[in-house]
């Protein structure tokens, strides 16, 4: 079968502002579409995105999960031992982190994070309840609880957001968004890397736990700081835009908010449904380790493949009424956290943050409504927000 070609640029500002029409075009054009301007192959249907995510042997991560191919180009920072690695190298760091930030270890944070969420929402309501939910809730809550949980000092935490923003831009092509971040990235990187040192990390935090795993021989002393760096890289912007997504979803779907208030135990399902609906991480690349035939079209060995998680999560072949944010559906199986070997190791942290914040809000707020025009933030990988003005009505 002949592979359809597209001259679309998924990373241009029109598509970053509203990717839905491009996603539909790519899904309908065929199982594989060649993106001519980047000489890469796009997968946008659920079935094929899922298949690529779970086939790490043929769709490798070790040559980078951005457009740049590490076989030919030097990465802008030393590669992640988790994200940009394949078995067997990938496995020890993954095993260590899975345990440190797994559901059992997070249990001890539940009460503290619930109290922090209660305090933040009380403060917001005492201030009148009209605010920009992006800085006021979606950034404020993760920045309040996550760096403490990792164990980094208070000083300089504001660097985490622009560092992550540039990192996620850098998975895309070297366009204006990357150029905008370039002047600051050396300084931001130096700060992030300095936070990964053993003597900087507070006892009892995830970072100290990673170094303790190195002491037990589960990681080398060279690996430990890079595993800490993964937490600081992947753990902030993703949750900020995930929380923004769920707040926007509720502000624009009042019946679903009522449903959550009636049944607060739906908070976790609500967050996963928002991750499906919005897909805060929109895309990742893989590299073909061999010629791969997908539904009759052949992707050549060495080619980059762009997986559209956001398009898969709204594929009508897989989801009924996919554009609806609906607490009544079962969102499990969504690929917003990826799937397979690399599936988001931090997803339990994200869910705990979201459940803490949504529960605090559901207990106190009868209605959430938009109080002005919302604004997107453009990023080559993230479906991101600049501003979500909201009004919270106290119960």
Residue 176: how many CB atoms within 10 A of its CB? Answer: 12
The site string for ligand OVM over 277-296 (x = CB under 6 A, - otherwise) reads ----x---------------
Give the separation between CA 390 and CA 371, rounded to whole angstroms. 5
Rounded least distance, CB 309 to ligand OVM, Å: 11
Does 384 contact ligand OVM by CB under 6 A?
Answer: no
Instruction: Judge contact between 202 and 151, C-beta under 8 A.
Output: yes
Q: What angle do CA 185, 190, 192 make, to 5 degrees?
A: 90
3-class secondary-structure state, position 351: helix
Does 82 contact ligand OVM by CB under 6 A?
Answer: yes
> Looking only at residues 5 through 44 of this chain, which bind ligand OVM when binding is defined by CB under 6 A?
none
Does 313 contact ligand OVM by CB under 6 A?
Answer: no
Token pair of 198, please?
């053993």
The torsion region of residue 71 among left (phi > 0), alpha (psi -120 to 50) and beta comes to: alpha
Give the separation between CA 222 and CA 71, rounded to whole angstroms. 22
Among 80, 159, 359, 379, binds ligand OVM (CB under 6 A): 80
Q: Which is nearer to ligand OVM, 82 or 214 (CB)?
A: 82
Distance of CA 278 to the CA centre of its chain: 11
Among 223, 230, 279, 347, binds ligand OVM (CB under 6 A): 230
Contact range with ligand OVM by CB under 6 A, out of 80-88, 137-145, 201-209, 372-380 = 80-88
- Candidates 286, 361, 299; CA nearest to 131 is 361
Give the separation between CA 48 and CA 299, rounded to whole angstroms. 13
Q: Which is nearer to ligand OVM, 124 or 384 (CB)?
A: 384
Does 138 contact ligand OVM by CB under 6 A?
Answer: no
Rounded least distance, CB 163 to ligand OVM, Å: 10
Rounded least distance, CB 339 to ligand OVM, Å: 13
> Looking only at residues 322 through 361 of this chain, which bind ligand OVM when binding is defined by CB under 6 A?
none
Instruction: Judge contact between 336 and 279, C-beta under 8 A.
Output: yes
Q: How far is CA 34 from CA 28, 68, 310, in A?
A: 13, 17, 18
Q: Which is nearer to ligand OVM, 230 or 256 (CB)?
A: 230
Give the separation between CA 37 and CA 42, rounded to whole angstroms. 12
Residue 341: how many CB atoms within 10 A of its CB? Answer: 16
Rounded least distance, CB 357 to ligand OVM, Å: 21
Among 60, 68, 223, 233, binds ligand OVM (CB under 6 A): 233
Does 83 contact ligand OVM by CB under 6 A?
Answer: yes
Tell me phi and psi for residue 281, to 5 degrees.
-95, 115
Token pair of 235, please?
């753990």
Does 96 contact ligand OVM by CB under 6 A?
Answer: no
- Alpha-carbon Rg for the chain, nearest whole angstrom, is 21
Rounded least distance, CB 93 to ligand OVM, Å: 9
Q: Which residues contact 17 (CB under 8 A, 6 or more apart)?
A: 376, 378
> Looking only at residues 141 through 200 of this chain, which bind ligand OVM when binding is defined by CB under 6 A?
167
Q: Which is nearer to ligand OVM, 227 or 270 (CB)?
A: 227
Q: Which is nearer to ligand OVM, 260 or 382 (CB)?
A: 382
Among 234, 307, 357, 374, binds ligand OVM (CB under 6 A): 234
Residues that bind ligand OVM (CB under 6 A): 80, 82-83, 167, 229-230, 233-234, 281
């Amino acid at each position: 079968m002949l592979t359809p070609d597209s001259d679309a640029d998924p990373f241009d500002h029109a598509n970053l502002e509203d990717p839905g029409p491009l996603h539909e075009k790519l899904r309908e054009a065929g199982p594989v579409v060649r993106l001519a301007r980047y000489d890469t192959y796009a997968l946008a249907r659920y079935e094929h995105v899922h298949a690529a995510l779970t086939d790490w042997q043929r769709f490798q991560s070790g040559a980078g999960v951005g457009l740049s191919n590490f076989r030919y180009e030097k990465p802008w920072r030393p590669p992640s031992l988790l994200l940009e690695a394949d078995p067997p190298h990938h496995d020890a760091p993954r095993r260590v982190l899975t345990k440190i930030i797994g559901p059992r270890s997070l249990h001890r944070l539940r009460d503290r994070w619930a109290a922090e969420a209660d305090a933040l929402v009380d403060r917001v309501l005492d201030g009148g309840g009209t605010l920009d939910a992006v800085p006021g809730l979606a950034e404020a809550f993760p920045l309040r609880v996550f760096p403490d949980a990792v164990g980094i000092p208070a000083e300089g935490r504001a660097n985490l957001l622009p560092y992550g923003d540039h990192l996620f831009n850098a998975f895309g092509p070297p366009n204006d968004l990357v150029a905008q971040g370039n002047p600051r990235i050396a300084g931001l990187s130096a700060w992030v890397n300095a936070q990964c040192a053993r003597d900087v990390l507070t006892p009892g935090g995830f970072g100290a736990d990673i170094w303790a795993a190195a002491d037990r021989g589960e990681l080398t002393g060279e690996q430990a700081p890079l595993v800490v760096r993964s937490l600081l890289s992947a753990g902030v912007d993703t949750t900020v835009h995930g929380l923004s997504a769920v707040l926007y979803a509720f502000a624009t779907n009042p019946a679903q908010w009522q449903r959550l208030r009636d049944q607060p135990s739906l908070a976790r399902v609500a967050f996963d449904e928002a991750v499906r609906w919005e897909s805060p991480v929109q895309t990742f690349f893989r590299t073909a380790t061999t010629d791969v035939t997908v539904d009759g079209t052949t992707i050549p060995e060495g080619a980059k493949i762009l997986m559209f998680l956001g398009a898969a999560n709204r594929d009508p072949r897989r989801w009924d009424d996919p554009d609806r944010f609906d607490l009544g559906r079962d969102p499990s199986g969504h690929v917003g956290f990826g799937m397979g070997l690399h599936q988001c190791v931090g997803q339990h942290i994200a869910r705990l943050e979201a459940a803490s914040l949504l529960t605090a809000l559901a207990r106190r707020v009868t209605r959430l409504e938009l109080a002005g025009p919302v604004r997107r933030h453009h990023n080559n990988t993230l479906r991101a927000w600049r501003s979500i003005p909201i009004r919270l009505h106290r119960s």
